Amino acid sequence: MEYRKEHDSMGEILVPADKYWGAQTQRSLINFPIGTEKMPVEIIRAFAVLKLAAARVNARLQPARMTEKKLSAIENAAAAVSDGSLDDNFPLVVWQTGSGTQSNMNVNEVIAGYANALAGEKVLHPNDDVNMSQSSNDTFPTAMHIAAVTETERHLLPAVQILIDTLITLEKENEGIVKSGRTHLEDATPITFSQEISGWRASLEKDAEMIKASLEPLRALALGATAVGTGLNAPKGFDTAVAAEISAITGTDFVTAENKFHSLTSKGELVYAHGALKALAADLMKIANDVRWLASGPRCGLGEITIPENEPGSSIMPGKVNPTQCEAVTMVSVQVMGNDAAVAIAASQGNFQLNVFMPVCIYNYLQSVRLLSDVCLSFEKNCVRGIKANRRKMHENLHNSLMLVTALNPHIGYENAAKVVHKAHGEGLSLKQACVEMGFLTEERFDELFHPEQMV
């Protein structure tokens, strides 16, 4: 491999000749050989947005420093970062400096290096030009918020809506099918299958509403705070103007943070937003568990629904098919719940004017968004849209349920109804047989009162 010499304030260092990064990126690669988790590409894309926005605002507010030539160079390089052309120039791991300084400099160096290579001359300096009016301390939390909002809006919310729409269709297809309800995993009074599905659908709708609401605080950006929140070296009005520019580039609303001292050291907004992701994970866990319980069998379980048979389920038991999509959903849910703990702990570690757990905080948030988006789409495509009611089994289970006796409470009283249940269960009788034998109702009166399909 060929190398070239680059330098920073600490001296010279060799950098691969085919890469655009500079000395600080190279030092990070050497000093942090930790794990395989790279800085999320969504953060790199968000950095491209904020670098472009900052350059445009700097060109308006201080044109002597941000000349048209420099602005054009940054615009071209930022576009290459955004479209993925330079992805192999962002090699840094999550486990680096807690402020994300090295990833900010990675972006600064790549934009400058790429632009200078295209121009055939040194047009941009990574600090003086690409990082103008900025600090790593305000750019990294800004990139976090941009990535969190845009990824959630573009990927997660549409994926959840696709799952909701399929449940709406399923709900309509199964209207009027009465089955046994279950509470505490025990038989309960009847419910329609469409009512059961409506509970799943409404849970996801509520989750989507909470996720949308949780994005609002994330729209406040730290950019303009610079190192400690005072805005040192940023021109007056930079913060407001750059938030407006970021909004224009992304097509979604952002504003400057009202209190920059808060925005550098607190990550409460991300904790709040990830809490909404955890709520979605919790409901997905519940829905997936319901589906696999209802599909359990095929002969020795509940067997009230069938789900698509996507692949063989056992390497030793021929013909076995498992609820694998449900298992994927529940594993994702567990990961998201774990991520929530990591985000909360990271957010609690702000000291004085800065939080230095930001890379791990946004890594976990974006992983949760990615996993939830993917698993909603997979679950919908490979399982939910193929759910079919087993009407025969639902009818059989319904009419075998002892909890149907609840309909008799107004006529024979709770205690007598309980006696009927115990007799029927203990002696293997039907509710009708037990009720008549105990003299609480005649056969004719029992038939008048006992209509399971009308109990929903």
Residues 178 and 271 in one domain: yes
Q: Which of 84, 103, 132 is the last residue of a domain?
A: 132
Residues 369 and 421 in one domain: no
Tell me how far apart the alpha carbons of residues 192 and 176 are, in angstroms, rounded to a whole number.
6
- Summarize the confidence of residues 373-382 as an average pLDDT: 98
Rounded to a whole number of angstroms, the distance between the first and last alpha carbons of the chain is: 73
**Mean pLDDT (the chain, rounded):** 97
- Summarize the confidence of residues 175-201 as an average pLDDT: 97
pLDDT of residue 133: 98
pLDDT of residue 431: 94
CATH number of the domain to which 373 belongs: 1.20.200.10
Residues 365 and 428 in one domain: no
pLDDT of residue 321: 92
Residues 282 and 371 in one domain: yes
| Contacting residues for 200 by C-beta, under 8 A, at least 6 apart | 167, 283, 287, 290
CATH number of the domain to which 432 belongs: 1.10.40.30
Closest to 365 in 3D by CA, of 239, 262, 246, 214:
214
Q: Is residue 302 part of a domain?
A: yes
Residues 340 and 195 in one domain: yes
pLDDT of residue 148: 98
Q: Is residue 9 part of a domain?
A: yes
Residues 305 and 201 in one domain: yes
For residue 59, give the H/E element and its range: helix 41-61
What's the CA angle centered on 144, arms 350 and 216, to 5 degrees?
Answer: 95
- Summarize the confidence of residues 279-296 as an average pLDDT: 98
pLDDT of residue 11: 95
The CA dihedral of 174, 177, 178, 179, to the nearest 10 degrees, is -70
Tell me how far apart the alpha carbons of residues 137 and 234 are, in angstroms, rounded to a whole number.
13
Location of structure tokens 């991520």: 339
Tell me how far apart the alpha carbons of residues 117 and 113 are, in angstroms, rounded to a whole number.
6
Q: Is residue 225 part of a domain?
A: no
| Helices 157-173, 358-382: crossing angle, 10 deg rounding | 30
pLDDT of residue 24: 98
pLDDT of residue 52: 98
Residues 290 and 356 in one domain: yes
pLDDT of residue 100: 98
- Summarize the confidence of residues 323-347 as an average pLDDT: 98
**In which band, very low, low, confident or very high, does the pLDDT at 178 lie, cut at 50, 70 and 90?**
very high
User: Which of 44-53, 78-87, 314-323 shows the lowest mean pLDDT across its residues?
Assistant: 314-323
What's the pLDDT tens digit per position in 88-106?
999 999 999 999 999 999 9
**In which band, very low, low, confident or very high, does the pLDDT at 417 lie, cut at 50, 70 and 90?**
very high
Q: Which of 132, 152, 171 is the last residue of a domain?
A: 132
- Summarize the confidence of residues 61-84 as an average pLDDT: 98
CATH number of the domain to which 56 belongs: 1.10.275.10
Q: Is residue 251 part of a domain?
A: no
Q: Is residue 250 part of a domain?
A: no
Closest to 90 in 3D by CA, of 42, 58, 136:
42
The CA dihedral of 340, 344, 345, 346, to the nearest 10 degrees, is 100
Residues 121 and 204 in one domain: no
Q: Which of 94, 109, 132 is the last residue of a domain?
A: 132
**In which band, very low, low, confident or very high, does the pLDDT at 32 lie, cut at 50, 70 and 90?**
very high
Closest to 357 in 3D by CA, of 368, 369, 344:
344
pLDDT of residue 161: 98
CA 285, 291, 293, 299 torsion: positive or negative?
negative
- And the tokens for 279? 């709520």
Per the annotation, the verdict on 184 as an active-site residue is: yes
Residues 188 and 148 in one domain: yes
Per the annotation, the verdict on 333 as an active-site residue is: no
**Which of these is catalytic: 82, 133, 155, 184?**
184
pLDDT of residue 286: 98
Q: Is residue 385 part of a domain?
A: yes
**In which band, very low, low, confident or very high, does the pLDDT at 405 lie, cut at 50, 70 and 90?**
very high
Tell me how far apart the alpha carbons of residues 143 and 126 are, in angstroms, rounded to a whole number.
17
Residues 418 and 276 in one domain: no
- Asked whether the beta carbons of 23 and 29 are under 8 A apart, the reply is no
- Summarize the confidence of residues 307-336 as an average pLDDT: 95
- Summarize the confidence of residues 346-352 as an average pLDDT: 97
Provide the domain count of the chain. Answer: 3
Closest to 40 in 3D by CA, of 120, 147, 127, 121:
147
pTM: 0.96
pLDDT of residue 253: 98
Q: Is residue 290 part of a domain?
A: yes
* Exposed / middle / buried, residue 351 (Cβ in 10 Å: 0-12, 13-18, 19+): exposed
- Summarize the confidence of residues 171-195 as an average pLDDT: 97
pLDDT of residue 158: 98
| Contacting residues for 221 by C-beta, under 8 A, at least 6 apart | 141, 142, 145, 146, 239, 242, 243, 246, 254, 255, 256, 257, 263
Q: Is residue 137 part of a domain?
A: no
Domain that holds residue 429: 401-454
pLDDT of residue 447: 92
For residue 8, give the H/E element and its range: strand 3-8
**Which of these is catalytic: 85, 314, 348, 430?**
314
Residues 414 and 291 in one domain: no
Residues 113 and 208 in one domain: no
Percent residues over pLDDT 90 in the chain: 99
